[in-house]
Amino acid sequence: MYCANCGVKLGEAEQVCPLCATPAFHPAIPRPAGEKQYPRDVYPPQPERPLAAQIVSTALFLLPMLITLLCDWQISGRVTWSGYVVGALLVVYLGMVLPFWFSKPQPMIFLPLWFAGVAAYLCYIAASTGGDWFVPFALPLTGVLGLLFTALVALLRRFPKGRLLICGGAFAMLGGYLTLLEWLIWAVFRHHRFIGWSFYPLIALLLLGGTVAALSLNRETREAMERKFFL
Amino acid sequence: MTFTKDPSKEKARLRWLPLDNAAKIYPAARSKTWSNVFRLSATLTQPVDRAVLEEALEAVIGRFPAICARLRRGCFWYYLQQIEHSPQIREEYSYPLVRMPAAEVRRCAFRVIVYQNRIALEFFHALTDGNGALVFLKTLLAEYLRRRYGIAVPAEQGVLDPAQEPLAEELEDSFQKYAGSRRAGRKGTDAYRITGTRETGGLRHLTCLELPVEQTLQKAHEYGVSLTAFLCAATMMAIQNIQEEQTAHRCHHRPVKVLLPVNLRKLFPSASLRNFVLYTIPEIDPRLGRYSFPEICRAVRHRMGLELEPKFMSTVIAANVAGERIFAVKIMPLFLKNLVMKAVFRRVGERKSCLSLSNLGTVQMPDVMKPYISRLDFVLGIQATGAYNCGVVSWGDTLYLNLTRNIREPKLEYHLSQVLQELGLKPLVRSN
């Protein structure tokens, strides 16, 4: 029997054309059930994911944590400076090792989780040093940065073809973030008058973001730039 | 006084061989998701008797110490060690060339798979090339038919006598012997790569296009080329069409190149059953404009005519063996060599062609075997980073062109069948 779409002759066992997926059927031509060349649905067992690297990495993180805690306990009789070391190591572990325990780590879960870990670490530092800067200063900065990064990754994954436009928007948002940073420093700490240094990177980043966004929208210019700057 | 065989001494007498020059790259280039494996299979007219096949296999493995071997690690190089007993016959999966993990290669670097009437052999490429594997398959088939049907098969046309001792020239690394005094350059541009939705879990699709040999050969002669050159040109034409579909602007097109393995035994007087194969890469550059089929045929014929010469090939062999002869390379620990070779393989080895098209040619066997064999297949494993590979073999009056792919969309199969149909050939299509 021949494929009605692409015209190739089909083997007896082919129920659909392997080349164009057109069903191999003709009401006037009875087809005997042919034998396929390979058994149906018999697949090799998938190899188990080796976890040695994760176990070794976790041990490498746990070891300095325990040693630091023990030393601190021996010297001070309680957790003092070792808390900062352990917290920092936990934050790094959260970002660099924890996702690899999972076969398909989802950045949309681990990225906010990591920023939450950073916020918790900063909260610990603020609490143990008696500072009152966490809620008015560190929390909004970490939260906004976490939101920005999560949104950026989500958009890049959802619209991979619009990456230039998304990156242009990200540059503009980064400029806005720097302005927020300066305003928060001024509003919370009030050590000096409002200088407005953040407007310089804001303008530069807005220009850069605008250029990238314009390039993403103008195909001819983009191709001209590619020709000019290819490596 | 009686003498008994000491099993430990027997084991010590098993042969070991350093890897040949072409094989050295394969263990290093292997990864968790890819190993360089190819398959040769024969479909018989009657179902395969496993017990008889096991006996036949046990009888022939001693004759092929370089093929019936396992891969071992030395301090500085890998080596092959002959296996004592034949491997267990395996069941077929829904697709061929399932990845051969390192642990398996250390036990035995080839597989025997039986499915209904078919005997399939899958080889890790470090053992041998398609021609060496074909000799092993023929000898195994001959021994199987002798034991199963009681026929007398003469040791001719690639069938070896299992009772004979292996010859020294069958085990030699012919690359060392035929390396020239001058070295060829290795320049070459990166080729266009066919892309698509990658299958997960190592799944491979196999599509076999069956063509009448006589008609295809006649068509090849109409264009003034050999059968291999004709199939290569048709494949290049199909890839050119795919690229035109996928990339709108011609200035962004990349060269279309097909890697054609060359059996060096036809150029040099070698009887080696190990790897002795190099390649030539015919190419067209679609940035210069669309190529017609006769133009592609001419490009392929001229490239093959230029490079398939013993003198030229000896310069390529010289360039390949030069690296391993450097003293500093020799004493470099194996894990360092592996790192370097893997990087070189990924950077240079694979990007220079769209796919390989390996044609084993028309297989000859002793007349008494022919009534028992209905078809042969040669299936190449996919390149580490590519999407396709293609193995061709002719048996009787049929040519079997097996395309393997690891992407969901059958782009090349579709376009190649269209090109063949436009040339007046009607392929029969089967898939796994």
CA of A145 to nearest chain B CA: how many angstroms apart?
34
Facing residue for A11 by CB, picked from B413, B426, B428? B428
Q: Which helix (H) or strand (E) holds B398?
A: strand B398-405
Residue B118's nearest CA partner among B87, B153, B93 is B93
Domain count, chain A: 2
Percentage of chain B surpassing pLDDT 70? Answer: 97
Residue B186's nearest CA partner among B352, B356, B357 is B352
Facing residue for A19 by CB, picked from B91, B249, B410? B410
Does a structural domain hold residue A47?
no
- pLDDT, tens digit, for every residue of A60-92? 999 999 999 999 999 988 888 999 999 999 999
CA of A19 to nearest chain B CA: how many angstroms apart?
5
Contacts of B254 in chain A (CB under 8 A): none
| B280 DSSP β-pair partners | B260
Query: Binning pLDDT at 50, 70 and 90, where does residue B34 land?
Result: confident
Contacts of B91 in chain A (CB under 8 A): 42
| Domains of chain B (ranges, CATH numbers) | 14-177 (3.30.559.10), 205-431 (3.30.559.30)
What are the helix and strand counts (H, E) for chain A?
7, 1
CA-CA distances (angstroms) from residue B88 to A18, B147, B426?
33, 19, 40
Cα torsion angle, B241, B242, B247, B248, sign: positive
Rounded Cα distance, B16 and B76, in Å? 15
Rounded Cα distance, B21 and B11, in Å? 26
Residue type for position B302: H
Does a structural domain hold residue A180?
yes
- 3-class secondary structure, B104: helix
Segments forming the whole domain that contains residue A13: 1-41
In this predicted structure, the answer to whether residue B7 has a pLDDT above a threshold of 50 is no
pLDDT of residue B368: 96
Query: Binning pLDDT at 50, 70 and 90, where does residue B4 land?
Result: very low
Query: Binning pLDDT at 50, 70 and 90, where does residue B8 land?
Result: very low
pLDDT of residue A231: 54
In this predicted structure, the answer to whether residue B6 has a pLDDT above a threshold of 60 is no
Query: Binning pLDDT at 50, 70 and 90, where does residue B352 land?
Result: confident
Does a structural domain hold residue A128?
no
- Identify from A8, A16, A104, A228 which residue to disrupt to test chain B contact, counting B C-beta atoms within 10 A and taking the largest count: A8
- pLDDT, tens digit, for every residue of A164-173? 999 999 999 9
In this predicted structure, the answer to whether residue B272 has a pLDDT above a threshold of 70 is yes
Does a structural domain hold residue A143?
no
Rounded Cα distance, B254 and B286, in Å? 7
Query: Binning pLDDT at 50, 70 and 90, where does residue A230 land?
Result: low
What are the helix and strand counts (H, E) for chain B?
14, 16
CA angle (B126, B131, B135) in 5-degree steps: 105
**Higher per-residue confidence, B432 vs B7:** B432
Question: B102 touching A, CB under 8 A?
Answer: no
Task: Flag if A38 and B94 touch (Cβ within 8 Å).
Answer: yes
In this predicted structure, the answer to whether residue B11 has a pLDDT above a threshold of 60 is no
Rounded Cα distance, B379 and B393, in Å? 9
Residue B63's nearest CA partner among B131, B134, B132, B165 is B165
Question: B201 touching A, CB under 8 A?
Answer: yes
In this predicted structure, the answer to whether residue B3 has a pLDDT above a threshold of 60 is no
Cα torsion angle, B155, B156, B160, B164, sign: positive
Rounded Cα distance, A50 and B428, in Å? 43
Mean of all residue pLDDT scores within chain A = 89
Lowest mean pLDDT among A190-194, B120-124, B287-291: A190-194
Does a structural domain hold residue A231?
yes
- Identify from B33, B37, B41, B94 which residue to disrupt to test chain A contact, counting A C-beta atoms within 10 A and taking the largest count: B94
Does a structural domain hold residue A147?
no
Rounded Cα distance, B2 and B5, in Å? 10
Percent composition of chain B: helix, strand, coil (DSSP 3-state, to 5): 40, 20, 40
Q: Which helix (H) or strand (E) holds B356?
A: strand B355-362
In this predicted structure, the answer to whether residue A192 has a pLDDT above a threshold of 80 is no
In this predicted structure, the answer to whether residue B31 has a pLDDT above a threshold of 90 is no
Rounded Cα distance, B410 and B27, in Å? 30
Query: Once rounded to an integer, what is the mean pLDDT over residues A25-52?
Result: 80
In this predicted structure, the answer to whether residue B106 has a pLDDT above a threshold of 60 is yes
Task: Flag if A8 and B417 touch (Cβ within 8 Å).
Answer: yes
Other CB atoms within 10 A of residue B342 CB: 18
Ramachandran sector of residue A153 (left: φ over 0; alpha: ψ -120 to 50; beta: rest): alpha
Does a structural domain hold residue A223?
yes
Rounded Cα distance, A206 and A176, in Å? 9
Does a structural domain hold residue A173?
yes
In this predicted structure, the answer to whether residue B49 has a pLDDT above a threshold of 60 is yes
The answer to whether B408 touches B376, Cβ cutoff 8 Å, is no
- pLDDT, tens digit, for every residue of B371-419? 999 999 999 998 888 899 999 999 999 999 999 999 999 999 999 999 9
Q: Side by side, which strands form the sheet with B69-73?
A: B16-18, B78-82, B69-73
Query: Once rounded to an integer, what is the mean pLDDT over residues A95-118?
Result: 92
Question: B116 touching A, CB under 8 A?
Answer: yes
CA of B372 to nearest chain A CA: how many angstroms apart?
18
